[in-house]
Amino acid sequence: MQRVRLRYTKRGRLRFTSHRDFQRAFERALRRAEVPMAYSAGFTPHPKVSYANAAPTGTGSEAEYLEIALTEARDPERLRALLDESLPAGLDIVDAVEARTSGLADRLTASVWELRLDGVALADAEHAVDAFMKAETVEVQRKMKNGMRTFDARAAVAGLEAQGAGPETQSPQPDRPTDQPCAILRLVVRHVTPAVRPDDVLSGLRAVADLAPPVPAAVTRLAQGLFDEETGTVTDPLAPDREAVAAAPLMAAATAAATASA
């Protein structure tokens, strides 16, 4: 059995697809691409697909991850291309690597988010960010299955900064206003329980500085992976697998040489 890990995106209008919608679309893509999937046992077998930390409905993402199990070996890049062709534009498979290490979900400990605040001046955003980061705790509320819950949105935030919208950050979404000021927030948040989402941080900014964008924020996850405490960055969770794949021929050659000399 071969395991392959994939990175996919949710772009444009497809950001409004739920995780269940994506699951259905992806399973159809597996059938169209004739992928030799491994299936679970039991009366209702399902393809062995493991999804990791999906983004909330309504948010875009450049860094969603899943793992599939195959009954026959396939070239990861060829598999990526076939699946990408079988999915609608916006749900794009952008990276694939053979799984050579364990614990992909354990390497998704933090996310980098971009929050586009149309109608918000940069100075107002900077003031709110400064107040949020200086606060010891920022309590917010969110409705959950068991009712309203109050929790601290500050402790999970490893980094938050504001910047103006330049040409490189122009929104590709036609429904976003273009003739108003716009501030861009770059948020790095640790994955904790309960999860702190970008909308929780926006609620916290409203609580500490009365920051209330006139239109809903456009939220995109840019990356997720292990959080490096020294650099404050989030690392690529597929890098260990790529390194293991690259090292495999060298290890095989070394083993063959040792066997021959013995």
For residue 151, the one-letter residue type is: F
Please tell me the predicted confidence (pLDDT) of residue 87: 96
Q: Is residue 250's pLDDT more than 80?
A: no
Q: What mean pLDDT is predicted for residues 12-29?
A: 94
Give the span between the Cα atoms of 216 and 60, in whole angstroms: 13
* pLDDT reported for residue 172: 46
Cα end-to-end span (Å), the chain:
32
Q: Which pLDDT band holds residue 146 (cuts at 50, 70, 90)? A: confident
Q: What is the mean pLDDT of residues 227-242?
A: 93
pTM greater than 0.75 (yes/no):
yes
pLDDT (0 to 100) of residue 228 = 92
Tokens of 36: 């030799």
Query: Which class in CATH covers the domain with range 108-234?
Result: alpha beta
255, pLDDT greater than 60: no
**108-234 has the same fold as 2-104:** yes
Q: What is the pLDDT of residues 188-229, one digit of tens each?
A: 999 998 899 999 999 999 999 999 999 999 999 999 999 998
* pLDDT tens, position by position, 82-116: 999 999 999 999 999 999 998 899 999 999 999 99
Amino acid present at 235: T
d(CA 189, CA 59) in angstroms, rounded, equals: 15
Ranges of beta strands (E only) in 166-216 are 182-190
- The string of pLDDT tens digits covering residues 151-173 is 999 999 999 999 988 655 555 45
pLDDT, tens digit (0-9, with 9 covering 90-100), for 35-67: 999 999 888 899 999 999 999 999 999 999 999
Q: Which of 150, 168, 162, 217 is nearest to 187 (CA)?
A: 162
> Residue 232: pLDDT band by 50, 70, 90 thresholds?
confident
Specify the pLDDT at position 247.
83
pLDDT of residue 42: 85
CATH 3.40.50.300 fits 2-104, yes or no: no
pLDDT at residue 1 in the model: 86
Each domain of the chain, given as residue ranges in start order, spans: 2-104, 108-234
Confidence of residue 261 (pLDDT cuts 50, 70, 90): low
